[in-house]
């Protein structure tokens, strides 16, 4: 820095001090690139964005929303002037998985049990759960939806699916035991390994004594 510049006829440190006065400070707040779009959910609480449908079970059907579209995600905001954040969705090309609020989805099915027969969400369910709830008998369908909704308060949908797999074939009597199966899966019984010791001779290892022999030695009779 103390040596002269090869063409400026001045020391480099002097040139640096002059240049510093012309430098611009970088902003401390990052610049956010996005665009705002208006949208409306369909009657199944789904958002259509470009060629992709996003399920938003936590929102009301036909709800108008604002979309804050970024390069990697979409923020769904309320359009009532409060701009409340309703959901954050990944852009399809990022290939990121979208978390599903299955309990909210099944809460919607409880209000409209028939919708489970054609809902977009059903295609995202494990096959065992899908087969369980997509039955023609309306009474049976409603009771099974209520059961899954209640179990989702404690277990994930994947856990419920694994529990159903263990119980195949599924019937109404077996479904009554589903909660016990799920509990056993999450809290498996502890089976300790046999204790290994080398002091007992092999000849008596595992031997079960005959108690009647001891009784005779002690003079004990059955009447006593």
- What's the CA gap between 183 and 168, in Å, rounded? 17
Helix (H) or strand (E) holding 183: helix 178-186
Residue ranges making up the domain that contains 75: 35-94
Residue 164, SS3 per DSSP? helix
Question: From start to end of the chain, where are the E strands?
Answer: 35-40, 46-49, 52-55, 64-69, 73-78, 85-90
53 in a structural domain: yes
Low-confidence ranges of the chain (pLDDT < 50): none
pLDDT value of residue 86? 94
138 in a structural domain: yes
From 48, 44, 52, 53, select the one nearest 65 (Cα to Cα).
48
47 in a structural domain: yes
Beta-bridge partners for 173: none
Tell whether 90 and 112 lie within a shared domain.
no
- What's the CA gap between 117 and 132, in Å, rounded? 11
Determine if the pTM surpasses 0.75.
no
The total domain count for the chain is 2
- What's the CA gap between 138 and 109, in Å, rounded? 12
Tell whether 65 and 126 lie within a shared domain.
no
pLDDT digits (tens, 9 = 90+) for 109-162: 998 899 899 887 888 899 999 999 999 999 999 999 999 999 999 999 999 999
């Amino acid at each position: 820095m103390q040596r002269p510049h090869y063409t400026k006829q001045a020391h480099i440190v002097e040139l640096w001090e002059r240049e510093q006065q012309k430098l611009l400070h970088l902003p401390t707040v990052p610049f956010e690139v996005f665009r705002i779009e208006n949208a409306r959910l369909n009657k199944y609480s789904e958002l259509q964005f470009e060629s992709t449908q996003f399920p938003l079970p936590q929102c009301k059907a036909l709800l108008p929303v604002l979309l804050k579209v970024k390069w990697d995600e979409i923020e769904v905001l309320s359009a009532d002037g409060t701009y409340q954040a309703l959901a954050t969705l990944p852009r399809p090309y990022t290939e990121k998985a979208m978390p599903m609020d299955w309990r909210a989805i099944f809460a919607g099915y409880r209000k409209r049990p028939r919708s489970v027969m054609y809902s977009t969400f059903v295609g995202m369910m494990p096959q065992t759960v899908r087969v369980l709830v997509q039955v023609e008998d309306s009474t049976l369908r409603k009771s099974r939806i209520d059961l899954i909704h209640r179990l989702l308060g404690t277990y994930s949908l994947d856990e419920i699916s694994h529990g159903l797999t263990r119980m195949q074939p599924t019937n109404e009597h077996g479904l009554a035991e589903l909660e016990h199966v799920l509990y056993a899966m999450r809290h498996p019984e502890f089976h300790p390994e046999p204790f290994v010791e080398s002091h007992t001779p092999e000849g008596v290892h595992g031997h079960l004594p005959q108690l009647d022999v001891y009784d005779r030695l002690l003079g004990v009779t059955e009447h006593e």
